[in-house]
Structure 1
C-alpha cells in the first residue's frame, strides 16, 4: 500500500475545532449585536431626553408672558425666535447631533435675534407677505449687514416663492403681486444676493406663533418628536434583528468558507502507526475479524477509550460535517478512505495489485471509518471485544463495496463475490450479536436525532423549543446550573 495516499491531509479534529470556533464566534457576534442594540437604545433615550429639554425651555419661556417683548399683539415676534432656536435644536439633538441654534452672545435688542449654523439671523414676523418684505428691506437699509439672513413665516415664504415663479395665490390682487415682486427685486439689488440666499423660511407659520396658539404649536412639535424617536428606536430594533438573522444564517456552511479552509488550513501529518500495525498483522495472515484483546491493545484501541486520528482534506471534511449529520471524526475517516480507495483503484486497473490486495488494503483504509461508525458503542462497552473485529470488518467491507460499485466494469462481479463470501463468513459467526449491536447504534442515533429535531424545529412555538432545548442539554450532560430554563435565567445570563 502506498503511503502517499495519506500525504497532504489534515486532521478531522482540526475541522471540528474550526466548527467549534465558528459557533463560538457566531455566539460572540450575536452577543455583540445585542449589546450594541442596548447601547444604541440607551443613547437614543438620552437623545430624546435632550430633545424634550428644549421643549421644556420653550414652555418655561411661554409660562411668563409678561417677560416676552411687545404687546399682546406683537409678542409673537420674540416667540417665533424662541421656537426657531428650541425646535431646531430639539430635532438635531434627537438625531444625536450638536445644537445648531443659540441666543448666546446675542443682546436682546441687537440687530440679530439669534445665531443659526453660525449665521446671524433677524426674525421678521409681520402680518402680510408684502409687509414682512417691507420690514426686511428696512432692517437691511438700517444696518447694511450682508452677512445677516432673515427668517420669515413659513407660509408667507411659500406665498412669496409662488408669486415669484408666476403662480400667485388666487386671493392676491394684482397690486399686491406687483408690490411683492418689487420688494424682492429691491432686496436682491441692495444685498447683491439672490432672494433665497438672504431670506429663509422659518419652521413656523405666522399663526403658530401667536400668543393664544403657541401652546398648541409646542405640543405639535413635541408629538412629532415622540413619533420620530419611536421611529428611530424601531429602526435600531429592526437593524439588530436583520444583523442577527444574517449572523445566524452564517451558521450554515458556505462554498467560499469551505474553499478558504481548504486553502489556508495547515497540513497535519496523519498518524500511520495504527494503520501500519494493522497492515502488518493482516499481511502476516491474521484477519481483522480474528483480532483478539492483545491485538487491539497493541493497535491502541480499548473498549474504554477510542481515539480516532484519521487525516482528511479540509474541504471534504468541512462539507461532510456541515452538510450532513456526520460527526467530524467519522466524516474525516470517510473522506480519507475515499481518497485512499481512489489510489488503490488506479493500481488495480493497472494490474499492479490483485483483487485480494484491493480488498485487504481497502479494508485497512476504511478501518478508521469503521471504528468511527461503531465508536459510540465501543466507548460504552456495548461491543464485546471478541466480535469487535467482525463488526468493523463487515463495516469496512461495506465501505469498499460502496466505493468500488459501478467502477470496475467486468471485474465488479469478481469483487462482489469476494466481499459476499467474506461478509457471510463473518455474519454466520456473529449474526445475533451483530444485529443487536447495529440495532443499538441505530437506536442511539435515532434518539439524538429526535432530540435535535425537537430542539431546532423552526415551526414550534417558543415554549416547546425551550423545553426541547433543555432536554437536549441534559442528554448531552450539560450541568443543570448552566442550562437556561426560563426568562429569568436568560435575563440573569445577559445582565449579571
Structure 2
C-alpha cells in the first residue's frame, strides 16, 4: 500500500474541509442574521400595532376633546414609531409614553419630552411651549426637551437662523411666514431664554396626527419600516458574500498546509535506507526545497480554486479538491506525453487513474463527513479510511483480473479496427454517390434548356420518382398543364 498517497490525499481533503468549514460558518451566520432581522421587523411591527391600538382608543374616548385629541395621538404615534425604528435595527426601545398628565409626555433614554401640537396663535406651538415652561419653570433645568410638529420645527429653525436684512423681505402674500412672524419667533427665544436646541422635531407633521389622517400615515410608516428591513437584509447578504480577501486566506492556508506535507514527505523519502538528517547532501536539500516549493504552488492553487468553485459554482469542497487533484494529475501525464515518456495509451490510462484516485478521495471525504458530523474531522477520517481501502484493493489486484482487462483492451482495439474499416467503406460509397448526384444537379440546372430538361428527367429517375409521373416530351408537358 502506498502510504504516501494516503497521507497526501488526506492533506488535500483537509484543505477542502477547512474551506468548506469557513463557507459553512459564513452561511450559518448569514441565516442567523437574516432570521434575527425578521424578528427585528416583527418587533417593530408590534410597536406600530400597539401605537395604532392606543390611537384607536384615544379616538373612541375623544380624550382632550375634538380640538385636543390630536395632541395625545401625536404622543402615542411618536412613541410607537421611534421605538419601531430602533427595533427594526436590532436596538432596544428608546421611548416611553408617560401618560400621567404631568410635566413630561414622553421619556427617551431618561430625557423628558413635552409634546406640543398647537395650531392656534400662528406661532408654530411656541406659545404653548412658553405656557408649559411658565407652569414648570425647572423643566429645562432638568434637561427636558420640547417637541413640536416637524413642519413647524423646520419653519422655526429657518426663521431662527435667518438674518434680519433677509427677514424684512418676507411677506405673507407668498404663502410663507411674514416679517412679523420672524420677529415673534426671535422675541420668543430672546425673552424666554430658550435655545433652538431646546426644541426638537417630531417625526410627524401637524396635519398627519389628525383623526382622519393618522391611520394612513401609520400605514405608510409600516411600509417604510418593511422597506428599511429589506434594505438591511440586502446589506446583510452583501456582507456575507464571498470575498477576494477570504479567498486569499484560503489560498494561503492551502499553500502552508501543502508545503508542510510536501516537505515532510520529501525528507522522509531522502532518509530512506537508514540515512540521517546529517547525511543529507546539498543536492538532497535542493530536491527537498523544490518539492516544498511545488507543494506551495499547488496548495495555493488548491485553496483558491476550492474556495472559488465552492462559492461560485455550487461545488462541494471535497469535489472541488478532487477536481484540482485530477487536473494536476492529468497535467503531469500530459507533460510526460509531450516529452515522450508516455505513449498515447499510457497517457490515457494514467489520466484515467488520476481521475479515479481523485474521485475515490472525494467520495470518501463526503461519506465520512456525512457519517461523522464533526467539521473537518469527519472528512479527514472518511478520506483516510476510503483511500486506504482503495490502495489495499489495488495492491491485491489479481493477475487474472489484469489479464482479463488486457484481453478486453485487445478486443476493443480489434473492434476499433473493424469499425474504422466500415467507416472508410461508408465514406467511399458516400463520395461516389455524391459525385453522381452533383453531376445530375449540374445537368438539371444547366443554362442549356434542352440539357436541363433531359438532366431533370435523369434526376427524377435517380430519386425513384415513378416513370409515369415524369414528363418526357413536349406533348406530355402540354397535356399535363393544358388538359
Q: TM-score scaled by structure 1? A: 0.51
Aligned counterpart, 2:76: 82
| Deviation of 1:175 (Å) | 2.7
Question: Deviations along 1:59-90, whole A, 9 cap, x unmatched?
Answer: 33334143x12x32233333322222222223
Do the aligned partners of 1:44 and 1:96 also contact (CA within 8 Å) in 2? Answer: yes
Aligned counterpart, 1:62: 58
Aligned counterpart, 2:452: none
Kindly report which structure 2 residues correspond to 1:70-219, keeping only aligned pairs within 5 A, or say none: 71-104=65-98, 107-108=100-101, 110-126=102-118, 127-130=120-123, 132-145=125-138, 146-147=141-142, 148-166=144-162, 170-171=171-172, 172-188=177-193, 195-209=195-209, 213-219=210-216
| Deviation of 1:332 (Å) | 7.0
Do the aligned partners of 2:97 and 2:107 also contact (CA within 8 Å) in 1? Answer: yes
Do the aligned partners of 1:12 and 1:331 also contact (CA within 8 Å) in 2? Answer: no
| Deviation of 1:55 (Å) | 3.3
| Deviation of 1:46 (Å) | 2.6
Do the aligned partners of 2:113 and 2:145 also contact (CA within 8 Å) in 1? Answer: yes
Instruction: Mark the CA change 1:369 to 1:255 in structure 2 (over 3 Å): closer, same or farther.
Output: farther
**C-alpha RMSD over aligned residues:** 5.1
Question: Deviations along 1:167-195, whole A, 9 cap, x unmatched?
Answer: 6564233333222211111122xx5xxx1
**Greater C-alpha Rg:** 2
Do the aligned partners of 2:15 and 2:254 also contact (CA within 8 Å) in 1? Answer: no
Kindly report which structure 2 residues correspond to 1:29-48, keeping only aligned pairs within 5 A, or say none: 29=25, 31-33=27-29, 35-48=31-44
Question: Which has the larger share of helix?
Answer: 2
Structure 1 residue runs of 5 or longer lacking an equivalent are 1-7, 277-310, 342-358, 392-429, 440-496
115-124 or 130-139: which moved more? 130-139
Instruction: Say whether 1:314 aligns with 2:295.
Output: yes
CA distance in 1, matches of 2:301, 2:327: 9
User: What secondary structure is seen at the aligned counterpart in 1 of 2:125?
Assistant: helix
CA distance in 2, matches of 1:164, 1:121: 21
Kindly report which structure 2 residues correspond to 1:20-31, keeping only aligned pairs within 5 A, or say none: 20-22=16-18, 24-25=20-21, 28-29=24-25, 31=27
CA distance in 2, matches of 1:160, 1:230: 31
Do the aligned partners of 1:112 and 1:121 also contact (CA within 8 Å) in 2? Answer: yes
User: What secondary structure is seen at the aligned counterpart in 2 of 1:115?
Assistant: strand
Do the aligned partners of 2:41 and 2:87 also contact (CA within 8 Å) in 1? Answer: no
| Deviation of 1:155 (Å) | 1.8
Kindly report which structure 2 residues correspond to 1:205-354, keeping only aligned pairs within 5 A, or say none: 205-209=205-209, 213-237=210-234, 239-240=236-237, 243-244=240-241, 246=242, 255-265=251-261, 267-269=263-265, 314-318=295-299, 328=325, 331=328
Question: Deviations along 1:12-56, whole A, 9 cap, x unmatched?
Answer: 323332244146425634651563255235423432432333333
CA distance in 2, matches of 1:216, 1:230: 21
Do the aligned partners of 1:48 and 1:229 also contact (CA within 8 Å) in 2? Answer: no
CA distance in 2, matches of 1:382, 1:31: 50
Do the aligned partners of 1:55 and 1:90 also contact (CA within 8 Å) in 2? Answer: no
Do the aligned partners of 1:9 and 1:314 also contact (CA within 8 Å) in 2? Answer: no
| Deviation of 1:122 (Å) | 2.0
User: What secondary structure is seen at the aligned counterpart in 1 of 2:200?
Assistant: strand
Kindly report which structure 2 residues correspond to 1:324-473, keeping only aligned pairs within 5 A, or say none: 328=325, 331=328, 374=353, 385=402, 433=410, 436=413
| Deviation of 1:220 (Å) | 1.7
Structure 2 residue runs of 5 or longer lacking an equivalent are 274-290, 307-320, 358-392, 417-483
CA distance in 1, matches of 2:182, 2:161: 11
Work out the number of aligned pairs and report it: 321
Instruction: Mark the CA change 1:102 to 1:37 in structure 2 (over 3 Å): closer, same or farther.
Output: closer
Aligned counterpart, 2:313: none
CA distance in 2, matches of 1:382, 1:19: 37
| Deviation of 1:154 (Å) | 1.9
User: What secondary structure is seen at the aligned counterpart in 2 of 1:121?
Assistant: strand
Instruction: Mark the CA change 1:134 to 1:49 in structure 2 (over 3 Å): closer, same or farther.
Output: closer
197-206 or 177-186: which moved more? 197-206
CA distance in 2, matches of 1:77, 1:329: 75
Do the aligned partners of 2:51 and 2:80 also contact (CA within 8 Å) in 1? Answer: yes
| Deviation of 1:254 (Å) | 6.4
User: What secondary structure is seen at the aligned counterpart in 1 of 2:147?
Assistant: strand
Instruction: Say whether 1:13 aligns with 2:5.
Output: no
